[in-house]
Amino acid sequence: MTIRCDFLMLLAYLLLSIAAASQTTANLETSDTKLQLEAGTNAPRLIALQSGDWRNRATESPIPTVEIDGRSIQLDWTFNPVASHVDKKLVSFVYDTVSPRLRLTWEWEVRSEHGPIEHQIRIENRDSTELWLPLEPSFVFDWQEALQDQLQHFYVEKGADTPSAIGTHLLAVSEGYEWEGASSSYAQPRPGEAREIIPYFLVERANGSQSGWYVGVEFSGRTHLTLTRKGVSLRGKVGLNPNPGPFRTRLKPGEVFETPRIFLGATDGGPDATANVLRRWVREVLTNPDTWKNPNYPLLVNNSWGGGMAVNEEIARHMIRDSADLGFEMFHLDAGWFRGVGDWYPDARKFPHGLRPLADEAHARGLKFGLWVDWAQAALNTAPGALNVRDPEVRGWLTSDLPPDWKPEEFKGQTIDIGVPQAKAWAMRETNRIVDDYNLDMLEHDGYLVAKGCDASDHPHAPPDPLNQCTYRDAGFEFVSSTNSTDVNYHAARAYYDIQSNLRQKHPGLLLEICNDGGRMVDFGSAAHGDYFSITDTYDPLSNRRAFYDASFVLPTAMLETYVERWPTARTGNFRYMLRSGMMGWLSVMIDTTSWNAEQHSAAKEELELYKKELRPLIRDANLYHISERPDGLHWDGMEYFDPNARRGVVYAFRGSVENEADHKFVLHGLSPRSRYQLQFQDHSAPEQIVEGSELMKGGINFHLPSPNSSEIVSLRELPAPTD
């Protein structure tokens, strides 16, 4: 007996020694980012970013316990070199536990030659029993940072509802700095509370070099990012939001839990330089390549909401004809077309011939046809095919049970939890049917779509804690908050991705708009599962420019949709200013254009033509420079695109409402100092001129606009160097 025991101990010792000896290091790099990784015996870690510029002291902490039948079981993770994998594009270090049998894969992946490197942790239940996992963060860091280093922290808010007065934050990270940014599938800004961020931040050294790093989350569910500076430690976490906790998630035999994928990149040169790398990376790695194959992406859209819920066949036909005449490329039928919430069939009183003839008319006039649907909403309609909250099956999918006197709003009902497999299957069928039946080129989803709270105990997510639960109403929807909220959102967001992917697979070329009541689900996960975002729900020129200013620091500008709504335009100059405030990314006009007078019609035609010829190619491909402070509506603000390959660019100049500020100078970026540039002022506010790059980047361009709330657009062309 003693002998056998000694033998086992010896065997264990030998195995441990092998594991220790097989401790592995690996490197991954892109042209911008270098990582050193290490597989320790019991945990992996990121050793350093940029060859030690940023040295990490934190070891990744694989979950220490799981819960089985209400008992907490300690886990003993051991590196498995045989199952691990290292090559130039992918490093995955595998750790196993024997009892219960679990496998954790810690993976870093290079998917582009440029930009950041992605990371994810997967935990697989290889046992035969169901178990519950605590929270595994996506990424934990603890950089060793010299006390005297001056650091800056940069992040941007979602434009949800209305962009705040700040939006873009650049803060000094001094001793004691503590920050948390959160994101979810439906941002709910409240006065006095921190707003949701687009889940990303950048930290840079303020002293000269601006060397830094950034991290972002490719997930639409509840996530958070933290940053703390204390002594020589700059640490934080990125991943699922642990609050309101404790987080737990069920893992059945054979199932895999995946932490939200993150990306980590190194940078220097500040927020704009970082953004010019990041936007390109998002386009290349996350977005749908088929979408970009259409040279008319981003499209010019006329949206029916200018006429509101009153829309009917006659109005829509009128709008389609006017859209084609003006030069739009898609007609977007907004809310008001359906029989009722959850009953996504055309209202026969308004559309006696259905929607297909409208799609046909749009197509015949060279327009695409898009449709608004709030497909995760159930209500009270009882027609076959309607999602009815009183139907026993549908009732089982709801995020909360409803009182007997509950009534939907005009276009808002009760959210179903698409994390429930039957609900997801219904949504998949229904979205497919809608696209097929109505011959759609674009499907918009709106409202509170991806559940971020649920009071059901029989859904795949964790049950709520009845002692720690609240239900509240906001923006016309019922919300539930409890300890299970992050897990609810985890399941629903993944189901949402499957539904969107299924649509793309079944309908190649179909465009998917992410609206969610304007700017509430703007993140890198939705960027991978949709083609453009509505970035705010407030559509005046200032709000549109503010939302664009913020979001354009992280996402491809072609994806950033601003709706332009009716706004006081006493003069044509004000009218152009209104349109142009939505013309820096994706433009959707939400004004009944048939109400425009002849002068406005002709101005709008010119603007759309300008967009197609000059602006769109730059919005797709050029670098972007934020050449002013964030817009305040009072003073001047501007934006510059420059494409060094095409050797051309554009400057948007907006004059605010203040009187006696007719002149302004914008200093440009991204030009060659010794090249000469031809400047053409679209509205002829100044004569055509040729200026040296160095002058434009030091002295700048002078603008003179005599009236408040007006604008100018200047085309830049780099002239060929004179031959000698």
Binding interface with Zn ion (CB under 5 A): 417, 454, 456, 459
Q: How far is the CB of 476 from Zn ion (least distance, A)?
A: 20
CB atoms within 10 A of CB 317: 15
Q: How far is the CB of 13 from Zn ion (least distance, A)?
A: 48
Backbone angles phi, psi at 277, to 5 degrees: -80, -45
212: tokens are: 């830094």
96 or 401: CB nearest Zn ion = 401
417 or 441: CB nearest Zn ion = 417
Distance CA 175, CA 229 (A): 6
382 or 422: CB nearest Zn ion = 422
Cβ-based burial of 206 (10 A; exposed 0-12, middle 13-18, buried ≥19)? middle
> Are residues 330 and 300 in contact, defined by beta-carbon separation less than 8 angstroms?
yes
Q: What stretch of H or E contains 132?
A: strand 131-133
> Are residues 140 and 215 in contact, defined by beta-carbon separation less than 8 angstroms?
no
Backbone angles phi, psi at 174, to 5 degrees: -100, 175
417 or 478: CB nearest Zn ion = 417
Identity at 637, one-letter amino acid code: D
397 or 677: CB nearest Zn ion = 397
> Are residues 656 and 633 in contact, defined by beta-carbon separation less than 8 angstroms?
yes
CB atoms within 10 A of CB 19: 17
Q: Would you mind telling me the total number of residues written for the chain in this entry?
A: 724
Could you give the 3-state DSSP secondary structure of residue 432?
helix
Sign of CA dihedral 522, 527, 530, 531: positive
CB atoms within 10 A of CB 684: 9
Distance CA 222, CA 199 (A): 10
Bridge-based pairing of strands 442-445 and 368-373 is: parallel
92 or 489: CB nearest Zn ion = 489
445 or 459: CB nearest Zn ion = 459
| Residue 305 DSSP one-character state | G
Q: How far is the CB of 399 from Zn ion (least distance, A)?
A: 6
Could you give the 3-state DSSP secondary structure of residue 143?
strand
242 or 463: CB nearest Zn ion = 463
> Are residues 255 and 157 in contact, defined by beta-carbon separation less than 8 angstroms?
no
Q: How far is the CB of 380 from Zn ion (least distance, A)?
A: 21
450 or 716: CB nearest Zn ion = 450
Q: How far is the CB of 705 from Zn ion (least distance, A)?
A: 54
Q: How far is the CB of 130 from Zn ion (least distance, A)?
A: 18
Report whether the peptide linkage leading into residue 100 is cis, meaning its omega lies within 30 degrees of zero.
yes
CA distances from 645 to 314, 622, 673 (A): 47, 8, 16
Residue nearest to Zn ion (CB): 454
229 or 461: CB nearest Zn ion = 461
Q: How far is the CB of 481 from Zn ion (least distance, A)?
A: 13
Q: How far is the CB of 217 from Zn ion (least distance, A)?
A: 22
Q: How far is the CB of 366 from Zn ion (least distance, A)?
A: 44
Q: How far is the CB of 423 from Zn ion (least distance, A)?
A: 9
